[in-house]
Amino acid sequence: MDEKDRILLHLLEENCRTPEEELAVLAEMSEQDVHDRIGRLEKAGVVRRYGAVVDWERAGDGNVAAVIELKVSPERDFGYDRIAERITRFPQVRSLRLMTGAYDLQLLVTGPSMHEIARFVAEQIAPMDRIRETATHIIMKTYKENGTTFAEREEVERLPYSF
Amino acid sequence: MRDFISARARAIPPSGIRKFFDIAQTMEDVISLGVGEPDFVTPWCVCEASIYSIEQGSTAYTSNKGTPQLRDAISRYLDTRFATHYDPEAEMIVTCGVSEAADIAIRAVTDPGDEILVAEPCYVSYSPCVSLAGGTPVPVLCRAKDEFRLTPDALAESITPKTKALIANFPNNPTGGVMEERDWRGIADLLVDHDLLLISDEVYAELTYDGGHFSPARLPELRDRTITLNGFSKAFAMTGWRIGYLCAPPGITAAALKIHQYVALCAPVMGQVAAYEALRNGGAEKDAMVREYRLRRNLFVDGLNKLGLACHLPKGAFYAFPSVESTGLTDVEFAEGLLREQHVAVVPGSALGPSGAGHVRCAYAVSRDDLKEALSRMGAFLESLK
């Protein structure tokens, strides 16, 4: 990883549909170099996936999302990793993180209704071994996702000319 | 009734872009590459700090030369960032933007009959300020073949026994030209030999893309014959806050302070609070903006050259200054045609000094999408000329 890789990653993160030709101009390198570097970053697992940031609320999708906090008793030799690995396998779990502070694991879960999420937590997550406590927080509104603000602000008028 | 307008005010030439401004006002979908300011909004931490201070009732005058807190912070910033050393008590004034700093610097040193050299093309205020102070502005031309550097040869040609000072702005508006240490050394010799003062406007110092900015006051022989001007507008996207500063040896600073206290009293306190916060916590966002300007520069200059509008890769500021000579049009004709037909606003180079003729200034301080759209409209305009 060097500075050029870093620039490419930032550009891809911002818009992964930018053509390689344009990436080459922006990052001051040849198209071949861009192509090779991206291939390498993909292969190394630095670039995990290409996706869109979707405002599902605006898309009219009725999905519900919740942040779930888990207190977990770590296992000898494995810590939190084994239980985390089991939780990641549920497709409802969009993200999973180990946290410092009052609880251990944080899940972002989505489902078609509040009821479904409640059932998922009560029937799938809470009964797992080593889960000591759960707390479910329903997301009411998303203002910003992955660096993108969802609310639209009015453009500020600028002068067309100034020296 | 008499004509009350003074001869000096009457002598100031009208703005070279007034006409364009009026045309642009009638259009809805103008892409403006004509504005010399960042398109970014001031970093939020800076706005937040200023809002909080207003809520706390901080709305009064400050010390004429600016709050001690801000001057201390500027002094430390200049030291770490550009290796120049100024005493915040005796060698610094916080001003209402760099525009005011330039004005009081010029007035503090200009006597009637003095010739003040102005490195052109450049920002439009220097020459009128010299004239208003009773001096005579004398252009020194920076040329495309030198990537718009100021050369010792050009400078030497313009020096007369009446010459008192040189005003230079690097990184440069409108050319994006920069001066490196070796470029300044040749200039420094001449300034010392002829006992001249340097007024160095470095408001684009943070916006350099290939190697860091070199501040001429770093040269020991120039340190005490230089007035360094800088400010927050361009680096921190703070044009509307009006905060700049002047740094100079104590004698010159004291003279400029007398003028500043009568014309401005002090810079706005809200802006001073904001500027302090920018220096404390705005660095990362400033760096991110500079990275983005660099990407835009690469995109836009590549596009210009592909269109056949020759443009060197500017190393500083956020301006591209392509030649339009290949079109057979003058810069004014080109800028007017492009605005009327394709609704893209650029500034004709001749509005920024005679050596800017044949070029147009394009500020790439707009989004990359707008730059692409501007390039495609410029392409369509060039097609229409064939």
Single out the residue in B231, B264, B282 at which a domain terminates. Answer: B282
Total structural domains in chain B?
Answer: 2
**What tens-digit pLDDT sequence spans chain B (386 residues)?**
999 999 999 999 888 788 888 889 889 899 999 999 999 999 999 999 999 999 999 999 999 999 999 999 999 999 999 999 999 999 999 999 999 999 999 999 999 999 999 999 999 999 999 999 999 999 999 999 999 999 999 999 999 999 999 999 999 999 999 999 999 999 999 999 999 999 999 999 999 998 899 999 999 999 999 999 999 999 999 999 999 999 999 999 999 999 999 999 999 999 999 999 999 999 999 999 999 999 999 999 999 999 999 999 999 999 999 999 999 999 999 999 999 999 999 999 999 988 899 999 999 999 999 999 999 999 999 999 98
- Which helix (H) or strand (E) segment is B247 a member of? strand B244-247
Over residues A1-45, the pLDDT tens digits come to: 899 999 999 999 999 999 999 999 999 999 999 999 999 999 999
Q: Which residues of B touch A27 (CB under 8 A)?
A: 295, 298
Do B69 and B186 belong together in one domain?
yes
B344 within 8 A of B33, measured Cβ to Cβ: yes
Question: What are the angstrom distances between the C-alpha of A57 and each of A68, A109, A129, B303, B362?
Answer: 20, 15, 35, 38, 40
Please give the pLDDT value at position A26: 96
Same domain? For B96 and B231 the reply is: yes
In a domain, B386, yes or no: no
The answer on B311 and B274 residing in a single domain is no
Tell me how many degrees the CA angle A146-A149-A153 measures, rounded to the nearest 5. Answer: 170
Is residue B201 included in any domain, yes or no? yes
* Residues B132 and B162 both lie in one domain: yes
B39, B291, B302 member nearest A25 (Cβ): B302
Question: Using the beta-carbon criterion (under 8 Å), do B299 and A26 form an inter-chain contact?
Answer: yes
Q: B94 and B225: one domain?
A: yes
Interchain CB distance below 8 Å, A11 and B299: no
Count of A-B CB contacts under 8 Å: 52
Note the pLDDT of residue B310: 94
Per-residue confidence (pLDDT) for residue A162, from 0 to 100: 86
Q: Does B50 fall in a domain?
A: no
Same structural domain for residues B99 and B15?
A: no
Pairing between β-strand B360-363 and β-strand B347-348 as defined by DSSP bridges: antiparallel
CA distance B166 to B143: 17
C-alpha span between A51 and B189 (Å, rounded): 58
Judge: B295–A163 Cβ closer than 8 Å, yes or no. no
Residue ranges per structural domain of chain A: 3-43, 64-143
Q: Quick one: pLDDT band at residue A53, thresholds 50, 70, 90?
A: confident
What are A's interface residues with B at a Cβ cutoff of 8 A? 7, 10-11, 22, 25-28, 156, 158-163
User: For position A153, what pLDDT does the model report?
Assistant: 78
Q: Cβ A25–B35 below 8 Å, yes or no? A: no
Is-contact B285 B266, C-beta < 8 A? no
Q: If pLDDT is split at 50, 70 and 90, which confidence band does A150 have?
A: confident
Query: Is B299 within 8 Å of A22 when comparing Cβ atoms?
Result: yes
In B, minimum Cα distance to A160 occurs at B32
The residue type found at B42 is: T
Instruction: Say which of B24, B291, B352 has its CB closest to residue A160.
Output: B24
**What SS3 state is found at B163?**
strand
Is there a contact between B188 and B219 (Cβ–Cβ < 8 Å)?
yes
Give the domain-ending residue among B230, B249, B282.
Answer: B282
Residue-level pLDDT at B327: 96
- Chain A: closest CA distance from residue B42 (Å): 12
H or E segment and range at residue B119: strand B115-120
Nearest to A162 among B35, B298, B299 (CB): B35
Q: Is B20 on the interface with A (CB under 8 A)?
A: yes
Give the domain range for residue B352.
Answer: 7-42+284-381
Residue B2 lies in a domain: no
> How buried is residue B316: exposed, middle or buried, by Cβ count under 10 Å (0-12/13-18/19+)?
buried
The answer on B89 and B28 residing in a single domain is no
Give residue B114's pLDDT: 98
What's the pLDDT at B68? 98
Whether the predicted pLDDT of A62 surpasses 80: no
Alpha helices in chain B (DSSP H): 7-11, 18-25, 44-55, 68-82, 97-109, 126-132, 152-158, 181-193, 220-223, 250-263, 269-281, 283-307, 331-342, 368-385
**SS3 of B42, please?**
coil
Instruction: Out of B125, B345, B351, name the one closest to residue A160 (CB).
Output: B345
Contact of B342 with chain A, judged by CB distance below 8 Å, is answered with no
**Mean pLDDT for all residues in chain A:** 93
Q: Write the CATH number for B260.
A: 3.40.640.10
Question: B27 in a domain, yes or no?
Answer: yes
| Amino acid residing at A55 | D
B235 with B307, same domain: the answer is no
Whether residue B47 is contained in a domain is answered as no
Same domain, B21 and B72: no
Tokens of B169: 């702005």
- Can you tell me whether residue B298 is helix, strand or coil? helix
Which value does ipTM take for this structure? 0.78
Instruction: Provide the edge-to-edge strand list for the sheet that holds B163-169.
Output: B92-95, B244-247, B226-231, B197-201, B163-169, B115-120, B136-141
3-state secondary structure of A98: strand
> In which residue are the tokens 């836009």 written?
B300
Is the domain of B222 the same as that of B143?
A: yes
Judgement on whether residues B103 and B237 belong to the same structural domain of the protein: yes
pLDDT for A109 beyond 80: yes
Q: Do B345 and A161 touch (CB under 8 A)?
A: yes
> What fold characterizes domain A64-143?
Alpha-Beta Plaits (3.30.70)
Query: What's the pTM value of the predicted model, to 2 decimals?
Result: 0.90
Domain covering A3-43 in this structure, CATH number: 1.10.10
- Any chain A CB within 8 A of the CB of B363? no
Is B181 in the same domain as B244? yes
* CATH number for the domain that contains residue B355: 3.90.1150.10
Question: Could B39 and A162 be called an inter-chain contact, meaning their C-beta atoms sit closer than 8 Å?
Answer: no
Q: What share of chain B is helix, strand, coil (3-state, %, to 5)?
A: 50, 15, 40
